Amino acid sequence: MKIFIDTANIDKIKEIHSWGILDGVTTNPSLIAKEGKDLKTVVAEIAEIVDGPISAEVISLDAEGMFNEGMELSEIHRNINIKLPMCIEGLKATKALYNEGIDVNMTLIFSAQQALLAAKAGARYISPFIGRLDDIGHVGMDVVAEIMDILDNYDFDTEVIAASIRHPLHVSQAATIGVHIATIPYDILKKMAAHPKTDEGIEAFLADWEKTKNL
């Protein structure tokens, strides 16, 4: 499974990239706003660090505006894909960008039906929001599993990005059902690398090593 980080913070991206496990980055307007920089500047900085897909989201809500923004953003770097919201205007813009050879990440997916339409329109990536589905009493991972089953039935050139990851268990569940990508917040990536038994073992090894110095 490919691992993306869901942030626009350059320091956090650099740190996770240094681990040797990072395949891409997803951003959104809220994440960009936290950094106090404009979208193009942040995306260009990310592209200098990560040689993989980078999602940059448009602001427009009409198909023409989405398309124009998407074309402009795609010129920043070859790895940029355009993040569009799941809606009728978004589907129209996805098809138009697809026809121009521009990859689209269709976001805010909450049902298998939405995912099917996004794939039909030519989305390169679709992002179902697991945590937000859990928040309203649905089992988000069940929706993702249904989406994976549908895509497996057909010859779509579309990858599923498990998004709205709330805890490490979401990641392992996504990997178990074969989700192509998980986009994971920085804090959860840190939790995935840690385990109290690992810390306990390292402490025991170091303590035993100290004992050998007196032999």
Q: Where are the domains of the chain?
A: 2-212
22: helix, coil or strand? Answer: coil
Q: Is the pLDDT of residue 204 over 90?
A: no
Q: Is the pLDDT of residue 209 over 90?
A: no
Alpha-carbon torsion 130, 136, 137, 138, what sign?
negative
* Annotation marks residue 83 as catalytic: yes
Beta strands in 130-212 (DSSP E): 159-162, 181-184
For residues 201 and 177, the model is more confident at 177
* The CATH number of the domain covering residues in 2-212: 3.20.20.70
CB 54 within 8 A of CB 77: yes
Ramachandran angles phi, psi of 182, nearest 5°? -120, 130
The catalytically annotated residue of 2, 14, 83, 191 is 83
Q: What is the pTM of this model?
A: 0.93
CB 12 within 8 A of CB 193: no
How sure is the predictor about 203, in pLDDT bands with cuts at 50, 70 and 90? Answer: confident
